[in-house]
Amino acid sequence: MIAGLVNFFGDKRFAKLRWRLLQMVLVLIVIADVLMPRPHAQYFWQAIPGYSAIFGFISCVAIIFISKFIGHSGGIMRDEDYYD
Amino acid sequence: MTEWLHPALLMLLGALVLPLLGGVWQKVTSVLVPLLALISVAQITPGSAGQIHFAGVDLVLFQADQLSLLFAWVFAIMAVIGNIYAWHLDDTGQRVSAFLYIGSAFGVVFAGDWFTLLVAWEVMAFASAHLIFASANRAAVAAGFRYLMVHVAGGVLLFGGIILHGLQTGSYLIGPLDHGQGGLAYNLILISFMLNAAVPPLSAWLTDAYPEATVTGAVFLSAFTTKTAVYVLIRNYPGAEVLIGFGVAMALYGVVFAVLENDCRRLLGYHIISQVGYMVAAVGMGTEMALNGAASHAFAHILYKGLLFMGAGAVILMTGRRKLTELGGLYRSMPITVFLYMIGALAISAFPLFSGFVSKSMILSAAAGDHRAGVVLLLTVASSGTFLHTGLKLPYYMFFGKDCGLRPPEPPLNMLLAMGLAALFCIGIGLFPQLLYAQLPYPVDYHPYSDAHVTESLALLMFTLLAFVLFLKYLDPEKTISLDTDWFYRRGAGLFMWLARHPVQIWEHWLITLGDGAGLRLMQHLSRLSLRIDTRLIDAAVNGVAATALRLGHLLRQLQTGIVSHYALVMIAGVIALLGWPIYVAMGTP
């Protein structure tokens, strides 16, 4: 069972199915999040429908590109034999 | 009070017994003693013992409260799991050093005074260093020495701070350092704690050394050093506001560096720094909820991070490779390892129903309750980054992605068992958070699965996944290393050696040639002069004295007649002179 589950995430044959499943899950989560009552909302952005989804997406993109930019342009990433 | 052995003492005794045993008996003992330590922790009730008055200082060797017991619990659990993971090893040295390391971690959490803490702190540094040296290759030995150098420096700062603190307050008992806030003692101790908690810029020792440790050693390292630092911060620096900024910065710093990293365990190391950032920030907030959050997150973190290091260690053991660029496609032959690793990954990413969710959300709620919107937002960004790296990037390039062609079998059963145990805790804490909450230092009125909290977390994480899928190719690991603050002492050591090899050596050489040239001529001139003085003056004087003695001897010999009556006459004359002289003087002075 475990092998089957892991195989589902690895095998190329299920790529299309995985992608469709992900889209479905994303839509369901956003709908659930928008419908969820927020009696204790503290910040203005919590009123924006699906703000968490937007925040997660933008955060991830920002982390990837800002980090790679710092790594390449900031001289942080060096050859593996730098210290040898 | 404890009616049982101090768990630190138990581990120490175990460390003494282990070398006497061989084969399966050593293996059994290596798991049995941590189990006894677990039972011992279960017996401990809050209180103190071992008060000693030594050299004018009050020492409390053992002191337990809710906070120290919470850390002792998770240390004991991790000691059992880690030793099961290391069951297959035939290395007495590693077992003994792991025992001393765990024992001294117990020593820190139960220390009632600063000196006991200092001793345990130092033993931790040296015992843990062996787990790096034990890799026995050039890179590991060099990293081990750097690790030791940094921690010894930290120990010196701690020692200095303790002495100053003791002189200022007259007490060496551990407790919140309110006195002298911002003073030298306060800052020295704080810096040494921040060093062990891997707060940048004092963090490079962690990502430098942990990836070089042995497969089993890294599992222990990931659990104890940074978390004992979190413990002493909670205990001594609650509400130290400076920690909030440092904590948030390190949460993000770990995330940025993890993007650049190619070594699987170094990437996990950056995420230790990131996760400890949440705890450090929470300590800085200092509210009851924040401190509960820091303690519970440390508890959850030890177990899921141990699980992640065990998963990465299993891959390294079975493939002999550690770079993401050289791995991939292993899911085909190691599905159970993938499955167990992913439980740890979902736990660290704070997915609902896993342990990270119930502890990390407590810190975020504490920040929101403390009206720190910026902290909440930045830590949420870091949460997205955590899932991106440990939950997506690392498993994708290690287990899925491009097939590296290797088909290694699953690791030994004991390693899978240890990972399974840790995974059970990750899920158990997520499902039954109240069990953990009941052990926290302050009363808890918090329900993680309420409101929109679950859907918000899921949305954040799943849209992180979407961004990962869309921008995957930009994340490909590169065959590079990243410069960190260890650059200063690694290159600094180069500069030091350059100074030794060039200016210092030139100066030394000049001094030597100085002796050969002008210096030697001067010396020769001086010795000639001294020779002349010797022959002309001293020898002449000696000869003169000898000649005089000879002449006097000759004269004396001529005076001697050999007739007894002459000698007797001289003697009587002498006696008369001796007696007569004082009489004459006495009579002459009426």
Q: Which of A33-47, B40-54, B98-112 has the highest mean pLDDT?
A: B98-112
Residues B285-318 have pLDDT tens digits of 999 999 999 999 999 999 999 999 999 999 999 9
Q: Please report, for residues A15, A71, B235, B245, B435, the alpha-carbon distance to residue A74 in angstroms, rounded to integers and kept in the order given.
A: 37, 6, 38, 23, 46
User: What rounded mean pLDDT belongs to chain B?
Assistant: 91
pLDDT at B2 over 70: no
> What element of type H or E holds B527?
helix B518-532
> Cα–Cα distance between B303 and B85 in angstroms, integer?
13
Residues B187-208 have pLDDT tens digits of 999 999 999 999 999 999 999 9
In A60-79, the residues whose Cβ lies within 8 Å of chain B are: 60-68, 70-71, 75-79
CA distance B462 to chain A (A): 7
pLDDT of residue B179: 61
Residues B510-524 have pLDDT tens digits of 888 776 777 778 888
A32 plus A65 within the same structural domain: no
Q: Does A82 reach chain B within 8 Å, measured CB to CB?
A: yes
ipTM rounded to 2 decimals: 0.95
Residues B25-70 have pLDDT tens digits of 999 999 999 999 999 999 998 888 888 888 888 888 899 999 999 9
- Please, what is the angle between helix B335-348 and helix B413-431, to 10°? 30
Number of domains in chain A: 2
pLDDT of residue A84: 80
In A17-46, the residues whose Cβ lies within 8 Å of chain B are: 19, 22, 25-26, 29-30, 32-33, 36-40, 42-43, 46
In B372-411, the residues whose Cβ lies within 8 Å of chain A are: 373, 376, 380-381, 384-385, 388, 399-400
A29 plus A64 within the same structural domain: no
Contact partners, residue B20, CB within 8 Å, separation at least 6: none
> B57 phi and psi, to 5 degrees?
-125, 140
A23 plus A58 within the same structural domain: no
A30 plus A61 within the same structural domain: no
User: What rounded mean pLDDT belongs to chain A?
Assistant: 90
| Percent over 70 (pLDDT), chain A | 100
Residue A56 to residue B338, Cβ atoms within 8 A: no
| Percent over 90 (pLDDT), chain B | 72
Residue type, B382: A
In B418-477, the residues whose Cβ lies within 8 Å of chain A are: 451-452, 455-469, 471, 474-475
A48 plus A12 within the same structural domain: no
Of residues B162, B319, B294, B177, the one with CA closest to residue B229: B294
A24 plus A52 within the same structural domain: no
A47 plus A32 within the same structural domain: no
A21 plus A52 within the same structural domain: no
A21 plus A47 within the same structural domain: no
Structure tokens at B327: 């791995």
Only one residue has tokens 């940048």, namely: B200
A49 plus A68 within the same structural domain: yes
> What element of type H or E holds B61?
strand B57-64
Burial class of B91 by CB neighbour count within 10 A (0 to 12, 13 to 18, 19+): middle
Cβ atoms B160, B188 nearer than 8 A: yes
Cβ atoms B114, B174 nearer than 8 A: yes
Cβ atoms B319, B330 nearer than 8 A: yes
> Cα–Cα distance between B344 and B81 in angstroms, integer?
14
- Expressed as residue numbers, the domain containing A51 is 43-84
pLDDT at B351 over 60: yes
Residue A2 to residue B335, Cβ atoms within 8 A: yes
Cβ atoms B8, B103 nearer than 8 A: yes
Burial class of B523 by CB neighbour count within 10 A (0 to 12, 13 to 18, 19+): exposed
A47 plus A64 within the same structural domain: yes
CA distance B384 to chain A (A): 6
